[in-house]
Amino acid sequence: MYEITVAVCVYKQKHWLHRCLRSLTSQTLEKSRYEVVVVNDDPVEDLDDIIDIFKEHINIRVINNKKNLGLPASLNRILKSSISKYFVRVDCDDYVATKTQDQADFTAYF
């Protein structure tokens, strides 16, 4: 079980995903403590080429929507499949600073 699930939803923004995932691989938090779940909300677009690059660097999995469900429904799919204690949402065009997850004292908020 992971402590943190990082949710990344992608819809017609594949070109930003590499940068986002690269920033998540550079976290100082131990990789064994978090997972990254990417939801592909565009059934036409294939993200496997980008996901494959990061599989050996972070715990990552992909959920492919069969049709465009929108952001709330896509996030709910991640929530339903996650068993982590904490949930962090990141847009696919975001860049996450290196110590973001490490500096956050999640127990102080919950």
CATH number for position 31: 3.90.550.10
Structural tokens at position 98: 């290196």
Digit-coded pLDDT (tens) for 34-72: 999 999 999 999 999 999 999 999 999 999 999 999 999
In a domain, 106, yes or no: no
In a domain, 101, yes or no: no
Confidence at residue 1, expressed as pLDDT on a 0 to 100 scale: 85
In a domain, 45, yes or no: yes
In a domain, 89, yes or no: yes
In a domain, 105, yes or no: no
In a domain, 107, yes or no: no
The total of structural domains in the chain comes to 1
In a domain, 16, yes or no: yes
Inform me whether the pLDDT recorded for 104 exceeds 90: no
In a domain, 18, yes or no: yes
Domain coverage including residue 57: 4-96
